């Protein structure tokens, strides 16, 4: 079942066309990787999906409520001085958009606790987010993202700057979530991991979609390049 349909989507920053005439679909249950060189438009496309970059032309249709999307942006390293603890960050993931004052129900707190434990972050409950390592921060942000029990996760280079052991662990977690039915759309440079985990792949080249297809087609056509 299609859950996201992009038809001839174009996104500009002033005179720069970052995504040019992109058409593709994402199906429920896909592990959909967006590959491509620096500056090819991967992050912009993800921003377009969540409404952070306005779509200039074409249509992008999400076939379910947007509140069920979790988005982890590319540069999400927390500021050392950001005045929030791991618990506060994770709990904030239960907030519905549109609310101004945070109010957390018992159910929100239970859900946040469950996410925190799932990611093994309970020992850092009272630690400031900025005092964690990059890998620990990723875990906390992932726990936050899981609080809303997302149907679709958009992950922008979620392993940048992490060592291979932590990346492997996180890959396994995403695999597990995907096995449980969560659709994953991930921008990545890591062609090894794409070959290992993705079910479908899209290749962006200089703001265009150059290829979109199954992992088998990707391996047959592009894997060695």
Residues that bind ligand ATP (CB under 6 A): 13, 16, 18, 36, 38-44, 74
Is the CB of 42 or the CB of 200 nearer to Mg ion? Answer: 42
Rounded CA separation 211/169 (Å): 29
188 binds, among ligand ATP, Mg ion, none (CB under 5 to 8 A by kind): none
95 binds, among Mg ion, ligand ATP, none (CB under 5 to 8 A by kind): none
CB of 9 to ligand ATP, least distance (A): 13
CB of 176 to ligand ATP, least distance (A): 26
* Binding residue count for Mg ion, defined by CB under 5 A: 3
Residue with tokens 């946040």: 112
Q: Which of residues 39-58 bind Mg ion (CB under 5 A)?
A: 42-43
Rounded CA separation 148/108 (Å): 9
17 binds, among Mg ion, ligand ATP, none (CB under 5 to 8 A by kind): none
CB of 222 to ligand ATP, least distance (A): 17
- Quick check: 201 and 219 in contact, CB under 8 A? no
Single out the residue of 140, 103, 104 nearest to residue 125, CA to CA: 140
Is the CB of 18 or the CB of 153 nearer to ligand ATP? Answer: 18
- Quick check: 70 and 153 in contact, CB under 8 A? yes
Q: Name the E strands within 82-225.
A: 152-156, 183-187, 200-205, 208-214
51 binds, among ligand ATP, Mg ion, none (CB under 5 to 8 A by kind): none
Is the CB of 47 or the CB of 139 nearer to ligand ATP? Answer: 47
Q: Which of 70-78, 104-112, 191-199, 217-225 is the region at the interface with Mg ion (rule: CB under 5 A)? A: 70-78
Single out the residue of 15, 14, 72, 24 nearest to residue 208, CA to CA: 24
The sheet carrying 16-27 orders its strands as 16-27, 2-13, 57-62
CB of 156 to Mg ion, least distance (A): 6
CB of 10 to ligand ATP, least distance (A): 12
Q: How far is CA 114 from the centre of its chain?
A: 20
CB of 159 to ligand ATP, least distance (A): 13
* Per-residue burial over 27-49, b = 16 or more CB atoms within 10 Å of its CB, e = otherwise: eebbbbbbbbeeebbbbbbbbbb
Is the CB of 133 or the CB of 205 nearer to ligand ATP? Answer: 205
The residue count of the chain comes to 225
Binding site for Mg ion (CB under 5 A): 42-43, 74
């Amino acid at each position: 079942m299609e859950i996201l349909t992009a038809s001839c989507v174009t996104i500009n920053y002033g005179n720069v066309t970052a995504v040019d005439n992109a058409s593709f679909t994402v199906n429920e249950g896909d592990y959909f990787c967006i590959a491509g060189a620096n500056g090819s438009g991967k992050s912009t496309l993800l921003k377009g999906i969540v409404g952070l970059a306005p779509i200039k032309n074409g249509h992008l249709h999400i076939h379910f409520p947007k509140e069920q999307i979790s988005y982890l942006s590319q540069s999400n390293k927390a500021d050392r001085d950001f005045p929030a603890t791991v618990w506060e960050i994770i709990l904030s993931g239960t907030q519905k958009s549109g609310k101004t004052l945070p109010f957390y129900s018992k159910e929100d707190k239970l859900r946040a606790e469950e996410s925190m434990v799932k990611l093994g972050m309970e020992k850092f409950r009272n630690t400031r987010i900025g005092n964690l390592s990059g890998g620990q921060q990723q875990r906390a942000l992932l726990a936050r993202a899981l609080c809303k029990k997302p149907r679709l996760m958009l992950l922008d280079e979620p392993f940048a700057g992490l060592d291979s052991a932590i990346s492997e662990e996180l890959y396994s977690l995403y695999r597990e979530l995907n096995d449980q039915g969560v659709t994953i759309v991930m921008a990545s440079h890591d062609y090894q991991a794409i070959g290992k985990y993705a079910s479908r792949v899209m290749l962006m080249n200089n703001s265009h979609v150059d290829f979109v297809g199954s992992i088998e087609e990707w391996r047959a056509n592009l894997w060695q390049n």
